[in-house]
Amino acid sequence: MILFLYINTKLYSAICQFCPNDNGGGGGSSVDCTSYGETIYVDISRPNDNGDGKSWANAKKYLHTALDIANYCDEIQRIEVAQGVYKPAITSTNRDLTFFVGNDITIQGGYPSGGNTNPNHVLYQTILSGVLATGIETYHIMVIYNQIGGVSVHGCIFQNGFADGTGSLQIGNSVYMARDDGAAVYIKDNTAVNFKNCLFYNNVANDHGGAVYSFASTTNFVNVIFANNTAGVNGGGLYLQTNSESNLTNCTFANNYYVSGGGGAIYNTTGSNINVYNTIIWSNTNSWNGGGQRNVWYSLIQDSNTHNGGSSTNNIYIDPEFVNSANIAGPDGDFFTIDDGLMVCTGSIIINRGLNTALNISNLDIKGVNRKFNEQVDIGPYENENYPKGYSAPAHGDSTVARIYLGKTSIPLEDCKVLSILTPDNAINYQFKTVVRHINSSFPTYNQYTKFVDRYYYLERIPIGDFNGKITLFFTNYDFVQFNDDPYSLNNLPIASNQIKNHLRIIKFPGVSSTYLPDSYTAEPEIIDPADADISYSLTTLIWTVTFENTGSLGTYFVTTKYDYILNGTDFSNPNNWNNNIKPNAVLPSLNRIFVTYPYHCTINEAFELKPFSKFDFITPI
């Protein structure tokens, strides 16, 4: 299966550099296809290209020569490629040269030099580069044409293609390919082309499809990143033409641009559809343009450009909080690793908000770790293997709405600031609102008696309803110190130097409020006693984290102290008659209690004030 290209009217074997001797004119020796198995091996570290490619020990040195054989031999179904940088030419600077895929095959990158049985695209990166020589780039790094059985490319990086040519190449009978479309991959007339764990980076096309141009083809992208690609006209990342369809699952489009047309990330023409699942499209010229339909589920999109009649379900329009989108590879310089710039901050809105049953979803993320962490998959190619944390306490007036499904899910604001964390007991699908208040000038109180910490939270389900599960709130150490310094405090909250936690209580005022203050509620408050183990302090951030169970209604949540005083005698004023010698001093705050153990009775023989909603009670000693 030999391919010839026509440059203008001149027949030229531009793509095939090692052609089997089948009247192709490539000058190579003949190939006995029956001697090959299903796999051919490629390793750029080989001393030369003399190997037949039938084993790692005799691997081909160059990917393009392996493709020549695979295109010719239908027996070959798979090409395994070791780590390294591969170019479509050895020494030639002919910009029409490309990795041409003319058969139904799978190209799997990510093997170590010398090969083994298990690919790892994270450790052993396979780069398909468009740079032929200094300042000279190929028009198309790869071309995939006219395959009906399916072509797959896994674990490869496509970078530095530059489709700025003029005219076109003939790749079939009256079929042409423009030199200014699809700098990374040009796809035409294919039933199914699949990309998984790939990166399209820094590719430029003068016309359409800075990275990928797809004509009359179905493409599937899973765990794929499109970053820093540019189209002179339409589709900086991806361009779909003439009844093409593309399915995108757990992908990211970032820093992709068009110059004079539309679709910074994607452009799909009328009759060409995209189906987007669990995907981030952010920080591009815009998300998409074109007359084709766009169906989008559980994704984060940078704008509300029209879907042209397509579906839109559970999507987010908030900054994903990339770690550093200006440095895609991160400090280590390697793609697909935990320090990548397109990883997100711990408090990102995309954590635990994907669809577990998305089309083509992989069990592993682009880093090679389990895709589903903490019950619900994340949006984007990277699964975050950590729980959301608060690194700074929310400020007065901070407010946001986020959707919760299952697992420990943060309700964040900008700059990775976590407002609260909700962990439902069972799978749900609701939005939740968090509002944070911090007065500074005075302490919030209850019935003018009970003082609360001057940082409190309002939580509301949308639509209004119950929430059963855990809630986590954040406070500064100064919040607690300030509370303790007030003379009214009978019991101290824990602080960094004294982490006695058993006095801390959450006071919930259940229901809906517009002012969030205690006097706006009619229902009696609920007292929640968090387990000491769920109250923690970070010496690094100076933040207290308080987690507690919530049952039923949400509402406004305050922190205060509460103590159950136990009197074991009749003399109220004698500290020796109180459990642990701890007695209330002059006043019993609201929501606190005094227990008198049976059969004692007591005489209050000192000045003492009992605040509303505080209680005397009797208990039988154990």
Residue 334 inside a domain? The answer is no
Residue 184 inside a domain? The answer is yes
Per-position b or e across 345-365, b if 16+ CB within 10 A of its CB: bbbbbbbbbbbeebebbbeeb
CATH of the domain at 513: 2.60.220
> For every residue of 269-290, which 3-state class applies, written as one string?
CCCCEEEEECCEEECCCCCEEC
Do residues 110 and 137 touch, judged by C-beta distance below 8 A? Answer: no
Query: Which of 277, 296, 315 marks a domain boundary?
Result: 296
CA-closest candidate to residue 267, choices 312, 306, 300, 221? 306
Give CA–CA dist 247/250, Å, rounded: 10
Task: Say whether both 579 and 482 belong to one domain.
Answer: no
Q: Which residues are within 8 A (CB) of 135 and not within 5 positions of it... i.e. 6 or more apart?
A: none
Task: Say whether both 223 and 115 belong to one domain.
Answer: yes
Query: Which of 296, 318, 341 marks a domain boundary?
Result: 296
Residue 63 inside a domain? The answer is no
Give CA–CA dist 309/43, Å, rounded: 47
Task: Say whether both 602 and 546 belong to one domain.
Answer: no
The confidence score (pLDDT) of residue 490 equals: 62
Residue 242 inside a domain? The answer is yes
Task: Say whether both 212 and 91 belong to one domain.
Answer: yes
Task: Say whether both 551 and 568 belong to one domain.
Answer: no
Task: Say whether both 267 and 405 belong to one domain.
Answer: no
Q: Maximum distance among all alpha carbons in the chain?
A: 115
CA-closest candidate to residue 619, choices 575, 566, 576, 583? 566
Task: Say whether both 230 and 141 belong to one domain.
Answer: yes
CA-closest candidate to residue 107, choices 55, 148, 47, 150? 150
Per-position b or e across 421-432, b if 16+ CB within 10 A of its CB: bbbbeeebeeeb
Residue 99 inside a domain? The answer is yes
Do residues 592 and 582 touch, judged by C-beta distance below 8 A? Answer: no
Task: Say whether both 245 and 119 belong to one domain.
Answer: yes
Lateral strand order in the sheet of 5-7? 10-12, 5-7, 168-172, 175-178
Residue with tokens 């020589």: 133
Residue 255 inside a domain? The answer is yes
DSSP 8-state secondary structure symbol assigned to residue 516: -
Task: Say whether both 571 and 551 belong to one domain.
Answer: no
Task: Say whether both 279 and 223 belong to one domain.
Answer: yes
Give CA–CA dist 606/111, Å, rounded: 82
- Distance from the first to the final alpha carbon of the chain: 90
Give CA–CA dist 306/496, Å, rounded: 52
CATH of the domain at 197: 2.160.20
Helices (H) and strands (E) in the chain, counts: 2, 51
Domain that holds residue 271: 78-296
Beta strand pairing call for 526-528 and 504-510: antiparallel
Do residues 170 and 199 touch, judged by C-beta distance below 8 A? Answer: no
Mean pLDDT per 10-residue segment, the chain (622 residues) = 33 38 40 94 98 97 97 96 96 93 97 95 98 95 95 98 94 87 97 98 98 98 99 98 97 98 97 98 97 97 93 92 95 96 90 95 97 91 86 86 85 79 91 88 65 93 97 95 79 89 94 91 91 94 96 96 84 88 80 80 81 76 57
Do residues 131 and 160 touch, judged by C-beta distance below 8 A? Answer: yes
CA-closest candidate to residue 18, choices 3, 40, 33? 3
Residue 355 inside a domain? The answer is no
Give CA–CA dist 125/381, Å, rounded: 17
Strand segments (E) across 285-415: 288-289, 294-297, 300-301, 312-313, 399-404, 409-412
Question: What are the structure tokens assigned to 127, written together?
Answer: 């780069």
pTM here is: 0.81
Tally of domains in the chain: 3
Task: Say whether both 537 and 613 belong to one domain.
Answer: no
Beta strand pairing call for 445-446 and 430-437: unpaired
Task: Say whether both 570 and 460 belong to one domain.
Answer: no
Query: Which of 261, 296, 331 marks a domain boundary?
Result: 296
Residue 123 inside a domain? The answer is yes
